[in-house]
Chains A and B, each alone.
Chain A
């Protein structure tokens, strides 16, 4: 009902005909579909590679922040500063700083490929968010679980690895998936440093032909990818619920 009224409002607005021509032209849509979808493979690759780095960073940072040994104090401080700084900085800003700043430093051995600069920027930014999700998961595991692991004679590390982390990660699947959905969309931010991914490709076509329909194509592709991840998450959740209910 609300959607219907909204739709009616949009369609009957005075600018609708212009908008329809520039944003929703069937021929332009078909023409842009090929280049935009093939550019989207770059987004997928960026997403998958960054994902791996993000999980590694997040695990390390979260673990460093929960380990209570005094010897870890300096690392703990470092990890805390890292999360505070990168959670506080807009991802776009991190992308710009890494994408333009790192090559400008001309450090020997520093990556110059846009792909890797993009991966680094996203990993730094998302690593901080995901580390917090993992840390919250670790802290939510009942203290008796730690005690039970230690009482069996497992070391601190073994208890973490075999008892606490599996529970922490399982519990945090929904927020983790949330972060991955938004990471998938934020690969589009890398267009600002010149990576020709889906959004950038759509923009190139749009500016060449003075049309905006390619942007809609890009939107459709991002939405489709989000739906895929969301359904995958639903499947994971259902599966773990079934496991909880009965046989492992």
Chain B
């Protein structure tokens, strides 16, 4: 489980996150929506410690119920990152490695998994994302949608408790968005807590448990998708969503 409390972050003099609270249960998908520049990426990067928070706490709770404050400066950053995967908009895959080697690198170098075990697991994950025949392909030879599916498989290879997805379909041809989102939908069954920044409103509406609307570094409104899309309480939420109505 992921629990964020009053997280603040500034760049230079500007406060980009102004006290964010958010809780994500295992198996839940939380969508972060909001205009570009509202702080979605910064929030995700604070959770897996690619950025350090200025104030507030990020709690991770493992299967046994042990809670850990990952913003504690004494924490083992690499160990935290093993538990929290992230996929970016593009440039995720390592182009000098084959697809399968992309999936093998983390488990073997970080988690101490044997090469054979990591390969077997990598192949199973490729099967799961619908790319069983691409193991030895070069990432550059794949379509954008296929690349993002491999990136998801690579994150899953680390068996994370939390998965952060930062606009993973924003750079894709609209025709390829669906195949990537289908993989995300399948994640519920794994009991992973998923936090996904996205502009795919129809996905947020049908496939998420909670939608959070960010504006200017604050969560303006948060709730189940039906409430957010059909009966938004805050006029700013309504105004933002109106831009996505056909």
Contact = CB atoms under 8 A, between A and B. Distances in A.
Given A144-B92, A147-B88, A167-B96, A153 B141 contact: no
Given A149-B94, A154-B78, 14 more contacts: A144-B90, A151-B48, A152-B82, A152-B105, A152-B106, A153-B81, A153-B111, A154-B109, A162-B109, A243-B138, A245-B138, A246-B137, A246-B138, A248-B137
Interface string A220-247: 0000000000000000000000011111
A106 interface: no
A163 B78 CA distance: 16
Interface in B11-46: none
Contacts of A158: 109-110
Contact of B106 (A147, A153, A170, A245): A153
A208 interface: no
B158 interface: yes
Contacts of B86: 147, 151
B105 A151 contact: no
A152 B87 CA distance: 10
B79 A153 contact: yes
Nearest to B137: A247
Given A148-B91, A153-B110, A244 B78 contact: no
A112 interface: no
A153 B161 CA distance: 14
Contacts of A155: 78
Interface of B: 48, 50, 78-79, 81-82, 84-86, 88, 90-98, 105-106, 109-111, 136-138, 140-141, 154, 158
A87 interface: no
A147 B45 CA distance: 10
Nearest to B45: A147
A145 interface: yes
Nearest to A151: B86
B95 A154 contact: no
A247 B141 contact: yes
Contacts of A247: 136-138, 141
Interface of A is mostly: helix
A18 interface: no
A176 B85 CA distance: 36
B62 to A, nearest CB: 16
Nearest to A166: B96
Contact of A153 (B78, B93, B98): B78
Contacts of B79: 153
Interface string A138-151: 00001011011111
Contacts of B50: 147, 150-151
B96 A154 contact: no
B138 A248 contact: yes
Contacts of B98: 248
9 contacts: A144-B92, A147-B88, A148-B91, A150-B81, A151-B48, A152-B106, A153-B82, A162-B94, A163-B94
A142 B91 contact: yes
B91 A248 contact: no
B110 A154 contact: yes
A154 B154 CA distance: 13
Contacts of A244: 95, 138, 140-141
Contacts of A144: 88, 90-92
B92 A148 contact: yes
A144 B87 CA distance: 10
Nearest to A144: B91
Contacts of B138: 243-248
A78 B87 CA distance: 38
A5 B242 CA distance: 75
B95 to A, nearest CB: 7
A57 to B, nearest CB: 24
